[in-house]
Amino acid sequence: MRAVEPWVVAPLRAFVAESSARLALLMTSSGQVVAQHGFVGALDLMSVAALGAGIVASSSELAVTVGWEPFRVVAHQGKEQAHFLAWFDTPRGRWIALVVFGSETKLGLVRVFFEQLVEDLAAAAPPEEEPRREVLAADFERELNASLRALFGR
Amino acid sequence: MTSQFQAMLDGLTRLRGVRGALVVSLEDGLVVAESVMGGLKGGALAAIGATLAGRAVELSGRGGFGRPRFLHLQGDDGALLVAPGHDLALVALAGRDVPIGMLRLEMLRTAERLG
Residues B35-80: pLDDT tens digits? 998 888 999 999 999 999 999 988 998 888 888 999 999 999 999 9
Enumerate the domain spans of chain B: 2-114
- pLDDT > 70: what percent of chain B? 97
pLDDT in tens, A16-70: 999 999 999 999 998 889 999 998 877 688 889 999 999 999 998 898 898 998 8
Task: Choose, out of A99, A101, A104, A106, the residue to mutate when testing the contact with B (most B CBs < 10 Å).
Answer: A106
Hey, are the CB atoms on B43 and A106 less than 8 Å from each other?
no
Contact B47 A109 (CB under 8 A): yes
Give the model's pLDDT for residue B20.
94
Q: Which residues of A touch B43 (CB under 8 A)?
A: 108, 111-112, 115
Tell me the pLDDT tens digit for each residue of A115-139. 999 999 999 988 876 665 666 666 7
Domain span holding position A31: 2-152
Taking one residue from A and the other from B, the number of pairs with CB-CB distance under 8 angstroms is 35
User: Which class does domain B2-114 fall in?
Assistant: alpha beta
- Flag if B48 and A109 touch (Cβ within 8 Å): yes
Could you give the maximum distance between any two Cα atoms of chain B, in Å? 40
Residues 6+ apart with CB under 8 A from A57: A29
Burial of B74-90, coded b for 16+ CB within 10 Å and e otherwise, reads eeeebbbbbbbbeebbb
- Best of A112, A113, A117 to disrupt the B interface (most B CBs within 10 Å) is A112
CA distance B24 to chain A (A): 10
pLDDT at A75 over 60: yes
Cα–Cα distance, B6 to A111 (Å, whole number): 23
- The DSSP code for B16 is T
Is a pLDDT exceeding 90 seen at residue B33? Answer: yes
Give the chain A residue nearest B24 (alpha carbons). A108
More confident call, A60 vs B2: A60
Domain count, chain A: 1
CATH number at residue A60: 3.30.450.30
pLDDT for B72 equals 94
- The CA-CA-CA angle for residues A27, A28, A31, to 5°, reads 75
- Does the pLDDT at position A153 exceed 80? no
Residue A37 DSSP class: E
What is the average pLDDT across A61-83? 89
Chain A residue numbers touching B31 (CB-CB < 8 A): 108
pLDDT of residue B29: 94
Distance, in Å, from the CA atom of B2 to the CA atom of A98, rounded to the nearest integer, reads: 31
Alpha-carbon dihedral angle through residues B3, B7, B12, B14, given to the nearest 10 degrees: 120
